Structure 1
Amino acid sequence: MKKTRLRIIGAIVTAMAVVSAVVWWRHAEQVRLVAAAALPQRPELGAWPEELRERIARAEERARTLFGAGVGLGELARLYHANGFLREAVCCYEGLGWIQPTEARWPHRQATILAGFGEMDAALLKERRAVELAPDYVPARLRLGDLLFKNNQPTDAAAEYQAVLRIQVDEPYAQLGLARVDFEAERWEQARRRLEPLVAQTNSLLGYDLIVTVHERLGLMERAAQGRSSGRASGAYRDVIDPWVDELLGDCYDPYRLGVASGAAARSGDLDTALRLLERAVIIAPSDLSAVFQLGVLHRERREFSSARSRFTECTRLDPGFADGWANLSALLEQLNDRAGAEQALVEGLRRCPESPGLHRMQARKLAQSGRRVEAVEAYRRSTRLRSNEAEPFVELAGLLFEMDRVQEGVEAMMGALSAEPQNPSALGLLAFYAISNGDKAGARDWLRRARLQPRVPREQMERLLTAYKEKFGETF
């Protein structure tokens, strides 16, 4: 009786195992078929590194196997997406969405690609799915809010931004999104209350382009001028950090893409990531001048001077006609108190790059510092002849000429600065002071008016000019 019962149990277990194996095999076969159907045609890869070509080939092969199809397709999606083969990546993500329907990364990454293609409805569908699967992943909710906003659904967009703030209080991109909703609805006061702390929180990286208009609409013209000045000084808009997309850079073989991503990381203050990406770019393409140069600049910013010197020296070897390599090497050696080395690098740079305005400007500064002012003037003039559309060399030349009491020539140099940049703040301030000093009331008023309209003229300088005007002419401007 006991033996009979054991036989029955054994038979049941065996049958269940067989059924499970059959079900598992059928599922694996379905996965294999889906992966095979999702495989895109391989693009032309002849100019790409051999390692990438081999990895793509192995991933394709694995995607056709019974036991590794999903893994192979995932590897292929990463490689294509990371290296800019976006249509191919979309095909892979479509298959992965069926194979691993609960993985939020697939629809999220696909949505970022589709949005870049301008396929907003498809991108919205995918991003909604990503948020359903990972409701606490902030970048997905932010992107969904942005997509809804661009699709003229401001109420739904605001709901997503509010959801982000429930997850992460004071998240700056969510605050920016809500401010944009208020801005488009012309709710100027509500927009101001969001934007002013946001601009302060992010040091004008976010919201400065909106706050100027908001202040103007509210009649706050002085604040608008200050915002315009801060915006110009701060640089461009920074996109939200998105780990699910950013992690793809570990599979990138394009030094240009790595350089761009490194620059974005550096501007966000993540110098470690910036360094890692540039080091990868140089490993992939050791002769890529741009990557080597950027790496030198980053090492210098991190105060890793020995590494910076090595990279700048390498730039001069890779391309002796690359003036920025010589200029940065010379400046770094000067910073390290190796004046002989700095001078040698500058002289060699000028020999190799005689048409470099930057190197002539650097030479002019050195000559002026050593008291050789006549030679410095000539070096500045060569710099301005070679690049007449940059104001600062004219300003520096004018300052030197004023020191030498060659006032009329200094004024002419200042006019050259204004020709290069009509509202250059240094030129406006100096010309206003010159007119005041010479008792030219009409000229002083004209230059002061122009300086007052230029928000980049420092407030302290403007106040000194107004004081000088009052003392000279006995009246307030």
Structure 2
Amino acid sequence: MASTPRTPAALLALGLIASACRATPPGPAPDREPGLPSASASTPEAADGASPARALADRVELPEASELSAQGIDPDIVARIDAAQAAVAAAPDDPATWLALGMTYHANELYEAARACYDQAQARDPAAPKPAYYQALILARRGEPGEAAAAMRQAAERAPDYAPAHWRLGQLLLDAGDPDAAGEAFDAALALDPESEAARIGQGRVALQAGQLETAVDRLQQAADMGEANADYARRLLGQAYQRLGREAEARQALAAANAGSPVWTDAWSADLNAMRDSFGFRSRAAEKLLSAGRVADGVALLETLHAERPEDLDVMVNLGAGYGQLGRYDAAASMLEAVLAARPRHAASHENLARARLFQMQAEGADREALLAQALAEIDQAIAIAPARVAAQGLRGDLLVVAERPAEAAEAYAEAARLSGRAPRWLNAEARMRLRTGQWDAVVSLLDDVTRRDPENAEAWRNLGLAQAALGAPSLARSALERAVTLDPGDTEARSALEQLESR
């Protein structure tokens, strides 16, 4: 996996480029970019009357290709960096070569080296928007929205007709806590590009944050109706707006139509960066991110391509097995994961995913459910023996024990998942369901008091809390909890039935 070298020794001055850098770039000294070291009059270069850009150039330190190879970075990435370094050495005063080298580092997650190159590109062409744009992307990734917004504002000022710079500025300003300025940026983007999905969603977010709920609905509905890449994200926000307006039916409809997954923001300049991300290692990580973002079919398609290129790569096989399982291709998942475990028998995630595949194979017509359940339990026990702190493995063990009709043991497995996860409501809820089945009413109340305090919109928790309170002979508390459950989920027939029984007494 490509990563920034972990020790200072790995960041050696690149001799070939460092000497080339000493040529003073043409043009006047640039304004300082975020993160750009300022040239001090105390430096020898400044004292001799050299420009700040030259003073900076003399301090550039970049990882050599050979050092990256020694770090185990993908050979495709090393070769690409080596070629980009050679281009800079051949034309050290050309801002385009520095920009291309920076993008090569950036695309392969070597962010500090990328920033140094973007500084050099900006020094050689102070009016260029792209160095500031790419700096902003890195700063945003580092969780510095204020600094990122400052850099993106420079990009937008240098490319006033490029709509994506404006809507990206709006997103960063929202993250930095300046919704008024964000709204202005989104308006500017939409004026330049009336079909901008990102700008409409941005306007909707600003309106939602300001409590202008009807305006938010209008903007977000427009974005959802465009049917573009982030329509599901627009629908989720639309559902939130409807909920705050008390329009529950429309909220449920919007949320039901929205798939899970993170929004993906692209534009021509980010596409240029993405085009450089075609090494095997990067594509493998990209596929993993697609699975995590809920874009499973896309992730599996990429993983199948990678598996064809390198059929022996176990990490790709692990992710492909998991992806097949998420797509419901359980036989293919089991086959792939069995192959992984033959080569890597102590790979906990593969044991866990194979157990999950066995669980779903049980649902096939004619399946030997008893044998598959036994295999699944054996696999999950093996996963936990190897890595006992895996939260998902403990939770899956609980799921399997539920299928095995062993609720008391399932409750203990869910309790361990809750403990390991810092008492995540998901696992507390699951434990409470099992305690409810075994008549441990006080334990249910204790668990769900915690859940409803931390997650007051959790309808299932309120329903089960009400059922436990009713069993304990506390009708007033039970009624209050069940009413809350029905308000949150009018379709919860179990909560509604229990409430009707209470009211009939």
Report TM bin, short chain. Answer: 0.5 to 0.7
1:193 maps to which of 218, 221, 224:
218
Q: Name the residue aligned to 1:159.
A: 187
* Inter-partner Cα distance in structure 2 for 1:321 and 1:446: 44
Q: Name the residue aligned to 1:343.
A: 374
* Inter-partner Cα distance in structure 2 for 1:360 and 1:183: 41
Q: Is the 1:330–1:343 Cα contact (8 Å) retained in structure 2?
A: no
**1:42 and 2:70 equivalent?**
no
Matches within 5 A, 1:63-462: 63-65=88-90, 73=98, 76-93=101-118, 108-116=133-141, 117=144, 118-130=147-159, 132=161, 135=162, 139-147=164-172, 153-154=181-182, 156-163=184-191, 165-166=193-194, 168=195, 171-183=196-208, 187-195=212-220, 205-206=233-234, 212=240, 216=244, 220-221=245-246, 223=248, 230=255, 238-242=263-267, 243-251=271-279, 253=281, 257-258=285-286, 261-263=289-291, 266-267=293-294, 269=295, 271-272=297-298, 275-276=301-302, 280=306, 292-314=317-339, 316-317=341-342, 318=344, 319-322=346-349, 324-335=352-363, 337=367, 339=369, 340-341=371-372, 343-351=374-382, 353=384, 357-368=394-405, 376-388=406-418, 389=423, 390-398=427-435, 400-401=437-438, 408-409=439-440, 411-412=441-442, 414-415=444-445, 417-418=447-448, 421-422=451-452, 425-433=459-467, 441-452=475-486, 455=488, 458-462=491-495
Q: Give the 3 Å change call, closer, same or farther, for CA 362–261 of structure 1 in structure 2.
A: closer
Helix, strand or coil for the counterpart of 1:48? Answer: coil
Helix, strand or coil for the counterpart of 2:233? Answer: coil
Q: Is the 1:300–1:308 Cα contact (8 Å) retained in structure 2?
A: yes
What count of residue pairs does the alignment treat as equivalent?
Answer: 414
* Inter-partner Cα distance in structure 2 for 1:143 and 1:377: 50
* Inter-partner Cα distance in structure 1 for 2:477 and 2:250: 24
Q: Is the 2:355–2:375 Cα contact (8 Å) retained in structure 1?
A: no
Q: Is the 1:127–1:140 Cα contact (8 Å) retained in structure 2?
A: yes
Unaligned runs of 5+ residues in structure 1 are 1-28, 369-375, 402-407
Cα shift readout 1:72-117 (whole Å, capped 9, x = no counterpart): 6565333300222223223434555798999976664344235555
* Inter-partner Cα distance in structure 2 for 1:377 and 1:215: 36
Cα shift readout 1:212-267 (whole Å, capped 9, x = no counterpart): 57975xxx44659958x959x97675242343343343247358853564246x53
Helix, strand or coil for the counterpart of 1:249? Answer: coil
Helix, strand or coil for the counterpart of 2:448? Answer: helix
The aligned amino acid for 2:431 is: F
Unaligned runs of 5+ residues in structure 2 are 1-19, 27-52
The aligned amino acid for 1:205 is: Y
The aligned amino acid for 1:62 is: A
Helix, strand or coil for the counterpart of 2:263? Answer: coil
The aligned amino acid for 1:49 is: I
2:501 maps to which of 463, 468, 476:
468
TM-score between the two structures when normalised by the length of structure 1? 0.66
Instruction: Identify, as 1 or 2, the structure richer in helix.
Output: 1
* Inter-partner Cα distance in structure 2 for 1:442 and 1:272: 51
* Inter-partner Cα distance in structure 1 for 2:139 and 2:461: 48
Q: Name the residue aligned to 2:41.
A: none
CA RMSD of aligned residues (A): 4.9
Cα shift readout 1:291-350 (whole Å, capped 9, x = no counterpart): 644332222334444542233335545334445234224224435536435532432442
Q: Give the 3 Å change call, closer, same or farther, for CA 332–384 of structure 1 in structure 2.
A: closer
Q: Is the 1:360–1:382 Cα contact (8 Å) retained in structure 2?
A: no
Shift of 1:172: 3.7
* Inter-partner Cα distance in structure 2 for 1:109 and 1:459: 49
Q: Is the 1:79–1:251 Cα contact (8 Å) retained in structure 2?
A: no
Q: Is the 2:182–2:206 Cα contact (8 Å) retained in structure 1?
A: yes
TM-score between the two structures when normalised by the length of structure 2? 0.63
